[in-house]
Every structure is written in structure tokens, then in C-alpha cells.
């Protein structure tokens, strides 16, 4: 409910004091962006260690299954549902957009 109240288009009001208190205990306002950044960091770490993102289907890396995430990103890309900002960021770690 606090995330909804935080949006400027909502009818609920959340005060700056409430926002500060929630942020002090780790409130994440944009869960989608948070999850993307978390998974991106794992992919970036994998890229730094291996020089590519050609991750084995059986391999779990960190807490996120990168294979599934990368497949999902390819799906989004194929259907034009991923931002150019994210595409560019992933291209920096040699994202392969075609299936391999």
C-alpha cells in the first residue's frame, strides 16, 4: 500500500516523514528496477569472470538463475518490450540477443 501511496497519481497521501522512515528500513519503491539491477549485477559479475554470458542451462549463479533471466530478456527484446537504456546496459556486457 505504501508503494501505491508513493506514486504521484494516487489518491492516497504519504508524507515526507513517512517516506524517510520507510527508506531508513530499506523500503524499495520500484521493485521491478530493483530486481533488474540485482540480476544485472550477477550477470555483470559472471561476464567479468568468464568473458561472456554463455551460461550453461544447468548452472545456477548466485541467487538468481541467470539462464532464465537471460531467456526472459531475449523474449522482451524480441517483442520490443525492453527499454533502450537496458538494451545498451546489457550490450556493455556482450549480451547475445539471439538464442544460442
What would the pLDDT profile of 40-91 be if each residue is shown by its tens digit?
999 999 999 989 888 876 666 665 688 889 989 999 999 999 999 999 999 9
> Hey, CA dihedral for 76, 80, 85, 90, is it positive or negative?
positive
Residue 9 banded pLDDT, cuts 50, 70, 90: low
Cα 56 to Cα 4: distance, rounded to the nearest angstrom: 39
CB atoms within 10 A of CB 35: 13
DSSP assignment string, 56-77: -TT--BTTB-HHHHHHHHHHHH
Which position has the grid cell 540480476? 39
pTM (2 d.p.): 0.70
Backbone angles phi, psi at 87, to 5 degrees: -60, -50
What are the respective helix, strand and coil percentages of the chain, to the nearest 5?
Answer: 55, 0, 45
Q: Check residue 83 and give its pLDDT.
A: 96
Amino acid at each position: 500500500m505504501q508503494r501505491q501511496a508513493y506514486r504521484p497519481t494516487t489518491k492516497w497521501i504519504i508524507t515526507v516523514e513517512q517516506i524517510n522512515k520507510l527508506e531508513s528500513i530499506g523500503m524499495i519503491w520500484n521493485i521491478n528496477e530493483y530486481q533488474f539491477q540485482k540480476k544485472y549485477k550477477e550477470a555483470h559479475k559472471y561476464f567479468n569472470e568468464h568473458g561472456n554470458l554463455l551460461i550453461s542451462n544447468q548452472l545456477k549463479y548466485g541467487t538468481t538463475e541467470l539462464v532464465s533471466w537471460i531467456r526472459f530478456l531475449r523474449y522482451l527484446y524480441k517483442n520490443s518490450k525492453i527499454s533502450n537504456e537496458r538494451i545498451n546496459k546489457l550490450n556493455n556486457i556482450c549480451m547475445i540477443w539471439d538464442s544460442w
